[in-house]
Structures are given as C-alpha cells and as structure tokens.
Chains A and B, each alone.
Chain A
C-alpha cells in the first residue's frame, strides 16, 4: 500500500496565530513530498516541493516566510502557516512520492479556517 495521512483534518485558528500541518507517509519512505492548496470548487495549486534533508522549493508567488516547510525525515513533512490571516483559509493537501515509482500519493487534506 501507499497511505499518506495528514493531521489535523480540520483546524480553526485566530488571525495572527500560526498553525502546523503534518503530512506522513505511513507505509513507505518519501524523499519528496508536495504541498498543494485548493480553494473551494477549484483545482489544486502546487505550493512547494519538499525534499528530505534540504530546503523546500517554492512555486512562484508563494511566500516562503509565510508557509514554512520542514521535511525532517523520510516519512514526515510539515507545513506551518505563520501569522495566519483569513485569506489563508483553504484546503491544504500534501502528497508523497514513493521512491523509484513515478506516482504521488495524496493525503486526505487539512481544512484551515482563520477567523
């Protein structure tokens, strides 16, 4: 199998606070994980590519200081939304690439609501 989990599944926070979202590959090692953002009824937009042991690669227009990504182990990547604002409210989805296999496995997503 290739199972990816995310925690939490839903989080509500106040404006100005920071929120951490975890992405774990449960039964395989993933040197590369991806973070996507999905607005209601829209497609997924790649935010950044996370590589184990190195700095993440951010897509154009994504603020790296606002969306901190840490890929500390082969099974865990975290996304921290710093100083969150209501416009950061969205559905955040991660995926993990199984080594050698050209395929991404997606987590169930985390819904962030900033009040």
Chain B
C-alpha cells in the first residue's frame, strides 16, 4: 500500500520569498512521485515527476523537488514566489511496477497563498 502525507494544509509566503511545500511518502516499492497544481475550478496540471532518474527534478514555472529516499520525502520548492503561484498543490505517488494500470494516490493537498 502507498500513501502520501502533506504537512501543512495551508502555507502562506510573501511574494519573492522561498516556497517550500512538504511531502512524505510511504511505499513498499521504489515509487514514482508527482507534484500537481490545481487552480480554482480546474483540473490538475503536472508540475514535475520523479521516475527513478535524477533525484533533483526540475519542473515548470520554476518549481523543483528533490527525492530523498532516506527521509522518504519529495518536497517542492521555488526560490521566489509569484502571485500567480497561489493555488492548491497535490503530491501523489504511484507504483511503477503496475505499468498500464497505475493508480495515483494523492495527498490531501496544500493551499498556497502569496502575500503581496
């Protein structure tokens, strides 16, 4: 069984400040990990994904995440927050051995607010 824990349902940062959204996972097999962003009343957009290659993954909109096996973490960061980053962020995990029928297990989400 796999699970994802996102610490902090709400995070507020000032514009221009560092964004850090936390994600810890639990998996019995080496996982694939994803970060998605959701704007109000919209679907999810993939920010980045870890699929067992480089542990530091760069995504869209200046976001990046680092896979740390020893800490079972996949935290999302952005050096300088922008007003347009305000949204809901979801971390997700899947089992890569189940190719073709992979299921994403989502965390509960973190709402990011940017303070002008």
Inter-subunit contact A93/B109 (CB<8 Å): no
A75 at the interface (CB under 8 A from B): no
Inter-subunit contact A44/B102 (CB<8 Å): no
**A18–B104 alpha-carbon span in the complex (Å):** 28
Please report the total number of A residues contacting B with Cβ < 8 Å. Answer: 26
B41, B90, B99: the one contacting A44 at CB < 8 Å is B90
A32, A103, A109, A111: the one contacting B101 at CB < 8 Å is A32
Query: Beta-carbon contacts of B80-116 to A below 8 Å, as 1s and 0s?
Result: 0000000000100010100111111111110000000
A49 neighbours in B (Cβ, 8 Å) = 101, 103
B45 at the interface (CB under 8 A from A): yes
- Chain A nearest CB from B48 CB (Å) reads 11
6 CB < 8 A contacts A-B = A44-B90, A95-B44, A102-B94, A106-B43, A107-B43, A109-B42
